[in-house]
Structure 1
Amino acid sequence: MDQNTAKTLFEQGATLVILDFPANMEFGIDLDTFATGPKFSGVKMIPPGIHLIHYSMASAGQHGMRCSLVHDFAQRELVVRKWDRASEQLACVGSEDVDRIRMGIRSIEPGLGAYPMMGEGVRLSCSRWRRLSSHITQQTIGRVLPPQGCFSSATGSFYEDEEMERARAQLAKGSIGVEEHPVDALDRFEFSRIDIRHSFPKNAAPATIRQLSLDKSWLLQKSLAEIWDTPRELLGEFQLAFLIIMVGQNFSGLEHWKRLMHLVLGSKGLLETTAEPFVSMLRILRAQLAECPRDFVFMVFDQDNFVASILSTFVLSLYECPGDHVELDKEVNELRELLAKLFEIHLPLGEQLQQEADVEVGEYAPQVVDL
C-alpha cells in the first residue's frame, strides 16, 4: 500500500482505540485474528459499516472465553474502549476521554494496527466480510444483541429455555429434577421468536393445516408483517446468527440460523410470485459455507440432517414450480458446485428428487400428523 492510499484510508476510515489492552491477547476484527504485542492500542483504517471485534485471554497456547463487540462504524468515527481488568472485557469511556484521545490521535497511531484488507490467498478480507454482513443494520444489532452490542461465548437465548422445558417435560414423571442456572436477563440474545412447527392460522381447517405445515409461506408473510420491517432485516438476522456462531464462537445462534433458513426456503407457495428473498438467502448461505471449516459443515449437515433436507426440499419445490427461474437456478447450481468442490457434499438435481418423490406415492407417502 503506497503512502497516499494509507493516508486516505486513515483519514476517511474509522478508528478503534483500546486503552490498557494487555499483550499476548487473542484479538481480532471480522475474519482476522492475531496476538497483541505490548504497544497494541487498537485498529485504524476501518471501512465504514458493521464490524465484529473479538478477543480472549491466551495462556500456554489455550484460549479463554471469547468476548465480542458488534458496532456500526461511521466514516471517520472514533470509538474508544478501555480494558477492565476485573471483568476482563472492554468498557466504554466518557466523552472527555474520547475528546482527549481525538486531540492526541497522532501520538497513538504507531500502536494502531491497520484494518486487514487482505485475507488468505488473493481474496480481499473486507470483500469477504461484506458478503457475510451486507444485510445487518444498526436496527438488527439493537434488536438482537445485548446492550452496547456486546456478547460472549456464554451468552444465552430463549432457545436454552426451550431445551430446559423439553428436559423438564421428559423428566416430569420421574424423580430426577432439572438443575436451573439463573441467567442475567440483560446478557441474552433477543432472537425473533419463530414457531416453525405452527405455520398456520389459529382455528385453521385440517386441510389448511396439512398444506401450511409443508409450505411456510403463510408464516413467512405473517412474520415479515409483524416482526421485521423489511426482508432485509430477516436476512440481516440470518447473517448475524451465523456470525455469532462462526466468529463469536457461541452456538446459541445455530438453532436460529436453521429456523430462519427453514422459514424462507420452506415457503414453496411464494416461489410462484417472487424470486426474493430466496435468491438473497441462497447467496448468503453460499458465502457463509465458503468460510466454514470442513468439520463445522459436516456437523451441521449431519445434525438431524436438517440442512441437507431443507435444501433438497427447496430444489424439488423449485423444479415443480411453473415458469422460468433463471436467477434462482443459477444460485442453486453455484451452491451445488461449492458443496461438491469444498466438502464433497452432493445436492441432488430437481429431476432426481422428483423421481424419488414419485416412488413414495400411495401407502409409502409421508404422512402429516395434526398437532
Structure 2
Amino acid sequence: MSPSPTILLPHLPPKTLVGIDLITFASTPNFHGIRDLPTGWHFLYTGTTESLSLRCGWWFHVGDSEDLDGTVISPNVGPEVLIWKWDTNTESLAPMTAATDADRQEAMRYRANLGAVWQAGGLFRYRSRVPLSSVLARDHGPGRRAPEAQRSHARDEANEEEGRDDWFGLTDRLSPAVLTRIVGDAQLDVNGQPRWMLTSASTARQDSDDLSGLVDSAQASDGLAETIEREESVLSLLPVDLKKTWREGAVGRERTEGAQDRSWALGDLIDRLSENDGGGARSGEAQVLGELQFTFLMVLTLMNYSCLQQWKRLLELILTCQSAIKDREVFVRDVLRLLLLQLKRSDDVDGGLFDLDGEEGGKFLRKLLMKFRISLYEILDGVSPAVKAEFERLEAWVKNEYDWELNRVAFVRKGIVQLEDGEEVELEMNEDDEDDETGEYAPLVVDLEETTDIQS
C-alpha cells in the first residue's frame, strides 16, 4: 500500500507543543508524526512550552502547487513522506536535506519503518479542528449510547469538513512566489521539496525597533537565539507608508484627496508588484491578498508581532480607499470575504486576536469598517452589489459577535443622562469629530493678510 502524505517527527521530546495549521497539542512518548495530510498549504510549528516559548515553524505544500503566473509546481514522484529531525541544541525542528549522505540514509530508514510506526499507533491523523466527540467525552464521560455516538460522529465529520474549507479559504492566495518574497529562499528537503522557515521573532525592518532584544529574552535557548540571528532573514513585507498616500510631486487638493482616499497608494503598490512578476494587475492583487493571509496566520500560530502590525497596515490602506471600491470591485470583495473568515477564526490565538494589541483591542478595526461603510453608502454611487453583499455579511457578523454598530447614524451623539443620585446632565460624544471635521478637528479660518504680516 502506498502511504498517504505523512509528516514524520522522530525523536521529538514528550510534552513539546506541536501545531499543524489551526490545531495544537502536546506530544506524547508514542507520537511520531501526522498522517493523511490533505492537498494544499500547511504550516508546522513547535515550541518548548504552550505560551512562554519562542515558536519555530515551516511552510510547505502537499501535492501540486500553482505559482502566481499559473505555473504548476509538482513534487517529486513517489509518496510524500516529509521528515523533520529534532535539533537538541536549538530545541526546534530542522528538515532532513539531500546535501548530506547521513540525512539521505536516515530518511530511507525512516520510510522503510513507516508501516511499523503506523501499526503501533504512532501517527496522529490530520485534523483541522478538535473533534466534538472528544470534548463531549471529556465533559460528560466516554460512556454514550450508540445513536448518540453516531450523531456525534456525524457532527465531527461536518465540523472537520468546515474546518478544512476554512483553512483553504485562509491559504488559497499563498504561493511559492509570495512566501519567497516575504521569507526568503526556501530550503530543499531530502525529497527536493521547498520549505520556508520563520519564527515568532521574525520581523520586518519597519518594526525592528519595536522588537529589539526579543531574541535575547529568556524565552529562547542560547542555541535557538544563535540560529535565528545567523540563519533567518528579515521578513520582506510590502512597504506600506500610511503617512504619504499621494504621488511624488502632488500639491494642494491632490495631496488632500490622496490623504482622504488612499486608492492611489493601493494602486501604486499593486502596479509595482505586477511589474516585478510580469503577471498583470491580477497578479499584484493576488500578492496583497496572499500577504494578508500570511500575516494573519503568523499572528494566529506564532503570535508574531511584526505580522500583526503589517496585517493592520494593509487593512487600513485598503479600507480607507474610495474610488478603488469601484475600480477594483473583485479585489475589494475578496478582501471583505477574507476578513470575515479571519475574524471567525480570530479566537484561535491564545487570549484572542485583539487582546494581543494591548488596550486598543478591536477599536482600530471598528473605526476602519465605519469609514468604509460611509464610503460605500454615502460617498460612492453604483457600487457592485457583490461588494455590498459581502460587506453586509461582515457587518451582520461583527454586530452579532462583537456588538459593533458600524452605522454612525444609529448613534445618539448628544443627550441627557440621569446619574445615580437623580441629577441630570447633558453629555455629548465626540469620538467621531475627526471624521466629521467638527470640534477640535473643525476647519480653522486664517486671515492671510495677518499671517503675511507676522511672517514678514
The TM-score with structure 2 as length reference comes to 0.67
2:115 corresponds to: 106
Which residue identity is paired with 1:278?
Answer: V
Q: How do 1:174-253 residues align onto structure 2 when only pairs under 5 Å count?
A: 186-227=232-273, 229=277, 230=283, 231-253=285-307
Residues 26 and 57 in structure 1, CA contact (< 8 A), matched pair in contact too: yes
Residues 215 and 267 in structure 1, CA contact (< 8 A), matched pair in contact too: yes
Residues 325 and 383 in structure 2, CA contact (< 8 A), matched pair in contact too: no
Residues 144 and 190 in structure 1, CA contact (< 8 A), matched pair in contact too: yes
2:375 corresponds to: 317
Residues 52 and 70 in structure 1, CA contact (< 8 A), matched pair in contact too: yes
Check 1:268–1:185 CA distance in 2 against 1; reply closer, same or farther (3 A cut).
farther
**What is the CA–CA distance in structure 1 between the aligned matches of 2:383 and 2:237, rounded to whole Å?**
35
Check 1:299–1:24 CA distance in 2 against 1; reply closer, same or farther (3 A cut).
closer
Question: What's the CA shift for 1:107?
Answer: 2.5
Which residue identity is paired with 1:115?
Answer: Y
Which residue identity is paired with 2:385?
Answer: V
Residues 20 and 43 in structure 2, CA contact (< 8 A), matched pair in contact too: yes
Residues 264 and 277 in structure 1, CA contact (< 8 A), matched pair in contact too: no
1:306 corresponds to: 364
Which residue identity is paired with 1:306?
Answer: F
**What is the CA–CA distance in structure 2 between the aligned matches of 1:62 and 1:310, rounded to whole Å?**
30
1:336 and 2:395 matched: yes
Stretches of structure 1 lacking an aligned partner (at least 5 in a row):
1-6, 166-181
Q: How do 1:229-308 residues align onto structure 2 when only pairs under 5 Å count?
A: 229=277, 230=283, 231-293=285-347, 295-297=352-354, 300=357, 302-303=360-361, 305-308=363-366
Q: How do 1:133-172 residues align onto structure 2 when only pairs under 5 Å count?
A: 133-145=171-183, 148=187, 149-161=196-208, 163=210
Q: Indicate the structure (1 or 2) with the bigger Cα radius of gyration.
A: 2
Check 1:298–1:164 CA distance in 2 against 1; reply closer, same or farther (3 A cut).
closer
Which residue identity is paired with 1:222?
Answer: D
Residues 354 and 362 in structure 2, CA contact (< 8 A), matched pair in contact too: no
* Cα deviation code 1:300-338 (max 9, x no counterpart): 593594212211111111112111532122211211222
* Cα deviation code 1:217-274 (max 9, x no counterpart): 1111111121255111210100110111111121111110011112222221122333
Please say which of residues 229-238 and 138-147 is displaced more in the overlay: 138-147
Check 1:272–1:249 CA distance in 2 against 1; reply closer, same or farther (3 A cut).
closer
1:115 corresponds to: 126
Check 1:25–1:117 CA distance in 2 against 1; reply closer, same or farther (3 A cut).
same
**What is the CA–CA distance in structure 2 between the aligned matches of 1:302 and 1:120, rounded to whole Å?**
34
Give the number of equivalent residue pairs.
339
1:346 and 2:405 matched: yes
The TM-score with structure 1 as length reference comes to 0.81
Check 1:304–1:37 CA distance in 2 against 1; reply closer, same or farther (3 A cut).
closer
Residues 16 and 26 in structure 2, CA contact (< 8 A), matched pair in contact too: yes
**What is the CA–CA distance in structure 2 between the aligned matches of 1:212 and 1:262, rounded to whole Å?**
14
* Cα deviation code 1:9-54 (max 9, x no counterpart): x84x421111211111111201111111112111111111111112
Stretches of structure 2 lacking an aligned partner (at least 5 in a row):
65-78, 99-103, 133-154, 188-195, 213-227, 278-282, 414-431, 445-456
1:130 and 2:168 matched: yes
Please say which of residues 305-314 and 120-129 is displaced more in the overlay: 120-129
Which residue identity is paired with 1:194?
Answer: V
1:170 corresponds to: none
* Cα deviation code 1:190-216 (max 9, x no counterpart): 212121221111111221111111111
Question: What's the CA shift for 1:140?
Answer: 1.5
Check 1:303–1:35 CA distance in 2 against 1; reply closer, same or farther (3 A cut).
closer
Name the SS for the 2:330 alignment partner.
Answer: coil
1:175 corresponds to: none
Residues 42 and 112 in structure 1, CA contact (< 8 A), matched pair in contact too: yes
Residues 159 and 255 in structure 1, CA contact (< 8 A), matched pair in contact too: no
Residues 289 and 297 in structure 1, CA contact (< 8 A), matched pair in contact too: no
Residues 215 and 266 in structure 1, CA contact (< 8 A), matched pair in contact too: yes
**What is the CA–CA distance in structure 1 between the aligned matches of 2:51 and 2:266, rounded to whole Å?**
43
Check 1:205–1:352 CA distance in 2 against 1; reply closer, same or farther (3 A cut).
farther
Q: Percent identity?
A: 21
Q: CA RMSD in A?
A: 3.1
**What is the CA–CA distance in structure 1 between the aligned matches of 2:434 and 2:312, rounded to whole Å?**
28
**What is the CA–CA distance in structure 2 between the aligned matches of 1:46 and 1:209, rounded to whole Å?**
51
**What is the CA–CA distance in structure 2 between the aligned matches of 1:226 and 1:52, rounded to whole Å?**
29
**What is the CA–CA distance in structure 1 between the aligned matches of 2:294 and 2:334, rounded to whole Å?**
15
Which residue identity is paired with 1:322?
Answer: D
**What is the CA–CA distance in structure 2 between the aligned matches of 1:92 and 1:17, rounded to whole Å?**
10
Which residue identity is paired with 2:172?
Answer: S
**What is the CA–CA distance in structure 2 between the aligned matches of 1:20 and 1:82, rounded to whole Å?**
7
**What is the CA–CA distance in structure 2 between the aligned matches of 1:338 and 1:326, rounded to whole Å?**
18
Residues 7 and 35 in structure 2, CA contact (< 8 A), matched pair in contact too: yes
